[in-house]
């Protein structure tokens, strides 16, 4: 097969194993691509070329001997700059960390390296990962390859842009309020927010460099250009850390089905409390029609037994508590326990819903990629959608449902709006049934077309 910048991670790894391309050649292919297109996009903000070439050469030497490191042997890739990387600067968009060079990899990064990945660069993120767009005072603004005047989403905006532009076949991101799902939607790629707790957080910023605590709601997960690649990466990074591994193993159940007509699908694509952009909703409705024509059974009236507003009201205090460091935390432990009790009741309502349905389709964001808007902050910015002024805070609403309930959600592209912007939904599933949402995304993509290259790339 011919390997190019848009070959999926799974296919590229297979080509490397068949020795149809070398790791050095694949690395140079992506570095050339970055040199050509990154100046306009500003997605990749740190490169470690010398080390990457040495690692690629070692991978090729081992391959020549028939010695394979793992499923990603020799595969070049980038990771979000919120993950600590040994010997490579990790800034997380924060001027206070501009000179931070970690001594050790984040655990998820270490697992990717152990599987054979050649990590050659870092991708941009907003300061401390706290925005739905991607800009900071250290590295500047990342642009959407579909329209440079628009955002790639945040906080894994550099990750999604790198994938859409062909800079990397695989990415590692994180998500506490849509930070994988929103960029995947804005840039037309795939992303997976795992069930909370299955991928260790150690080495992710925030918290502070070197911190060991596990933040509520936050997860680490992959972004890619196919659902198959997401599952490949998840199998590598998921599992207990060395302390937990003394007593337990992760054994995710198989997908409930992989046959599109066998899925019991609910779709919650619009809501009066957070209306979806009309052009995006058109894409979703066309997607539902295409899936139905292919045999899928989709119930567009089914809802869990709570409103979108109730889900947001449950989620937001937990988010604030998770984002507030140390003594600045405005929530007492007693208050958190009360909120967590509410959350546990929501989780059981979700579980009852998933006895009747396998997955729920919902927007990741209420609008397609919006124009850069950097004045003020998340509490003061406004967006104009369908002629209506909307609060910037609405960006978190649809992500909240799966977030605080700790559920897996796979973001997948559905189509392109009349304005030429990608539109994707999130596939939400039962806790720890990540393989079910990934399987649906794979099956649905066979009908809907999957990843599309941005014009000009």
Confidence (pLDDT) at 328: 57
361: tokens are 């389709």
Backbone angles phi, psi at 238, to 5 degrees: -80, 150
SS3 of 400, please?
Answer: helix
Looking at the predicted structure, is the pLDDT value of residue 263 above 90?
yes
Q: How many residues does the chain have?
A: 457
Report the first-to-last Cα separation within the chain, whole angstroms: 21
pLDDT averaged over every residue in the chain: 96
CA dist 161 and 403 (Å) reads 23
SS3 of 83, please?
Answer: strand
β-pair partners for 267: 361
Confidence (pLDDT) at 329: 63
Catalytic amino acids?
A: 80, 155, 179
For 326-342, write each residue's pLDDT tens digit.
545 667 889 899 999 99
What domains, with CATH codes, occur in the chain? 9-246 (3.90.1300.10), 260-448 (3.90.1300.10)
* Contact yes or no for 139/98 (Cβ under 8 A): no
pTM of the entire predicted model: 0.98
Looking at the predicted structure, is the pLDDT value of residue 449 above 70?
yes
CA dist 203 and 84 (Å) reads 5
For 182-219, write each residue's pLDDT tens digit.
999 999 999 999 999 999 999 999 989 988 888 999 99
SS3 of 74, please?
Answer: coil
């Amino acid at each position: 097969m011919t390997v190019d910048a848009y070959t999926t991670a799974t296919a590229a790894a297979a080509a490397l194993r068949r020795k149809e391309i070398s790791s050095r050649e694949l690395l140079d292919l992506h570095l050339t691509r970055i040199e050509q297109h990154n100046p306009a996009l500003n997605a990749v903000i740190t490169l470690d070329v010398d080390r990457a070439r040495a690692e690629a050469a070692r991978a090729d030497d081992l391959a020549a001997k028939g010695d394979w490191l793992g499923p990603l042997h020799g595969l070049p890739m980038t990771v979000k700059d919120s993950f600590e990387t040994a010997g490579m600067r990790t800034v997380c968009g924060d001027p206070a960390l501009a000179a931070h060079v970690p001594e050790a990899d984040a655990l998820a990064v270490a697992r990717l390296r152990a599987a054979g990945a050649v990590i050659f660069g870092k991708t941009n993120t907003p300061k401390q990962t706290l925005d739905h767009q991607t800009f900071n005072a250290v590295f500047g603004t990342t642009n959407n390859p579909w329209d440079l005047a628009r955002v790639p989403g945040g906080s894994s905006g550099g990750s999604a842009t790198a994938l859409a532009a062909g800079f990397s076949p695989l990415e590692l991101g994180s998500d506490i309020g849509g930070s994988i799902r929103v960029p995947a939607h804005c840039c037309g790629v795939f992303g997976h927010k795992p069930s909370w707790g299955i991928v260790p957080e150690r080495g992710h910023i925030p918290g502070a460099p070197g911190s060991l605590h596990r933040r509520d709601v936050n997860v680490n997960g992959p972004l890619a250009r196919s659902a198959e690649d997401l599952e490949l990466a998840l199998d590598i990074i998921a599992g207990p850390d060395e302390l937990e591994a003394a007593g337990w193993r992760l054994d995710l159940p198989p997908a409930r089905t992989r046959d599109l007509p066998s899925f019991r699908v609910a779709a919650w694509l619009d809501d009066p409390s957070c209306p979806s952009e009309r052009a995006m909703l058109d894409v979703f409705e066309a997607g539902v029609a295409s899936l139905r024509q292919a045999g899928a059974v989709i119930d567009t009236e089914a809802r869990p037994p709570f409103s979108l507003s109730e889900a947001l009201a449950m989620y937001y205090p937990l988010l604030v508590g998770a984002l507030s460091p140390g003594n600045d935390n405005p929530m007492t432990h007693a208050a958190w326990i009360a909120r967590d009790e509410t959350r546990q009741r929501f989780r059981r309502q979700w579980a009852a819903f998933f006895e009747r349905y396998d997955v729920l389709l919902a927007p990741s964001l209420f609008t397609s990629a919006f124009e850069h808007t950097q004045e003020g902050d998340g509490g003061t910015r406004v967006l104009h959608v369908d002629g209506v002024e909307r609060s910037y805070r609405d960006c978190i609403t649809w992500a909240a449902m799966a977030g605080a309930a700790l559920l897996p959600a796979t973001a997948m592209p559905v189509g392109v709006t009349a304005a030429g912007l990608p539109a994707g939904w999130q596939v939400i599933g039962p806790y720890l049934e990540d393989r079910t949402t990934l399987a649906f995304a794979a099956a649905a993509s066979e009908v809907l077309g999957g990843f599309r290259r941005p014009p000009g790339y």
